[in-house]
């Protein structure tokens, strides 16, 4: 999504084009006629609230952007955005805590749409404190929280300890761009673009690695300590709140015995 379109026909058409679907593809996914999709995109027909939600589901539009489509069509938003510590979010918060605790002694963090660290386990705090001389106060994002993307990309951040930076940076940059594009969120796209411009990495593109590994490890050289890790991203399967929809858990795993042994020997490993 690139324009500042605000009418429902324009937004619907842009999302369909972004998802690379024809009108027939969208009609089949939403179980409506192709003619009805065409009339909705030209403004000849006005969508019902149910139709907006049906098309949003078919287009896999994030909840924040679904609210914008509803408002563009003249309806009230359907999804609320709760604070993580709100009473209604208690089951979500408890689930996140359990995931982080159960992942000890390995690092895991909870990130929001801006890559701000909302929660972390003890091992993640240990990992991010390993780089001597890194002033984490330099890498604070919106809401006054540590921004993992900024801390990773900034020349004075974790970047200087990543020994395979030439290999790891391009896929990471592409992931940032892909996340921003998929969200359709102008604030996220502007933040990512500003971040990449500040770190002079906005023109980096990924190329296939010559490694035969199924994943690209992050190789950290911290003096005499060498750590090799990769990450797995998890999201909620059936979010009904914007906050829940935009949270993701990044869990790190070792690629070698030495890295696994290092984390198992830390105080957090014994609870």
Helix, coil or strand: residue 220: strand
Average pLDDT, the chain: 89
Is 144 in the same domain as 206?
yes
Residue 145 in any domain: the answer is yes
Neighbours of 195 (CB within 10 A): 22
Cβ-based neighbour number of residue 6 at 10 Å: 10
Q: Residues 52, 127: one domain?
A: no
Q: Is the dihedral of CA 88, 89, 94, 95 positive or negative?
A: positive
pLDDT at 204 over 60: yes
DSSP conformation class of 146: B
For residues 147 and 260, state if they share a domain.
Answer: yes
Average pLDDT over residues 182-207: 80
pLDDT tens for 73-130 read: 999 999 999 999 999 999 999 999 999 999 999 999 999 999 999 999 999 999 988 8
Q: With contact defined as beta carbons under 8 Å apart, do 270 and 238 qualify? A: no
> How many Cα atoms within 13 Å fall on the side-chain side of residue 207?
5
- CATH code where residue 202 lies: 3.30.450.180
Alpha helices, H only, 73-164: 90-103, 122-128, 148-153
- Say whether both 28 and 152 belong to one domain: no
Assess whether pLDDT exceeds 50 at residue 3: no
DSSP string for residues in 224-247: TEEEEEEEEEE--SS--SHHHHH-
Asked if residue 77 is part of any domain, the answer here is: no
Instruction: Identify the CA nearest to 153 among candidates 142, 169, 166, 141.
Output: 169
The parent domain of residue 62 ranges over 8-72
pLDDT of residue 210 exceeding 70: no
Do 249 and 173 lie in a common domain? yes
Q: Are residues 245 and 162 in the same domain?
A: yes
**Which one is predicted more confidently, 39 or 135?**
39
| Boundary of a domain, candidates 46, 72, 98 | 72
- The domain that holds 34 is classified in CATH as 1.10.260.40
Q: Does residue 261 sit in the same domain as residue 225?
A: yes
Kindly tell me if the per-residue pLDDT of 4 is higher than 60. Answer: no
Q: Which two tokens stand for residue 228?
A: 């090799």
Provide the whole-model pTM: 0.87
- Please count the structural domains in the chain: 2
CA distance 179 to 185: 10
114 and 241 belong to one structural domain: yes
| Alpha carbon separation from 257 to 50, 222, 254 (Å, rounded) | 53, 17, 7
């Amino acid at each position: 999504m690139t324009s500042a379109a605000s009418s429902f026909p324009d937004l619907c058409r842009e999302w369909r084009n972004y998802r690379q679907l024809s009108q027939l593809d969208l009609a089949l996914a939403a179980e409506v006629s192709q003619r009805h999709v065409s009339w909705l995109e030209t403004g000849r027909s006005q969508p019902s609230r149910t139709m907006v939600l049906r098309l949003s589901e078919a287009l896999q539009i994030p909840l924040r952007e679904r609210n914008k489509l509803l408002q563009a069509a003249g309806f009230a938003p359907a999804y609320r955005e709760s604070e993580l510590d709100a009473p209604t979010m208690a089951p979500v918060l408890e689930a996140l805590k359990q995931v982080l605790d159960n992942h000890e002694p390995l690092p895991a963090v909870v990130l929001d749409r801006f890559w701000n660290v909302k929660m972390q386990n003890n091992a993640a705090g240990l990992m991010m404190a390993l780089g001597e001389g890194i002033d984490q106060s330099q890498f604070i994002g919106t809401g006054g929280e540590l921004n993992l993307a900024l801390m990773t990309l900034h020349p004075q951040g974790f970047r200087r300890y990543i020994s395979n930076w030439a290999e790891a940076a391009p896929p990471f940059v592409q992931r940032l761009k892909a996340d921003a594009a998929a969200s359709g969120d102008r604030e996220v796209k502007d933040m990512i673009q500003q971040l990449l411009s500040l770190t002079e990495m906005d023109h980096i593109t990924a190329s296939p690695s010559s490694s035969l590994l199924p994943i690209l490890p992050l190789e950290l050289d911290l003096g005499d300590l060498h750590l090799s890790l990769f990450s797995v991203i998890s999201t909620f399967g059936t979010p009904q709140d914007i906050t829940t929809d935009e949270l993701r858990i990044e869990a790190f795993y070792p690629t070698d015995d030495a890295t696994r042994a290092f984390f198992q020997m830390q105080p957090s490993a014994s609870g």
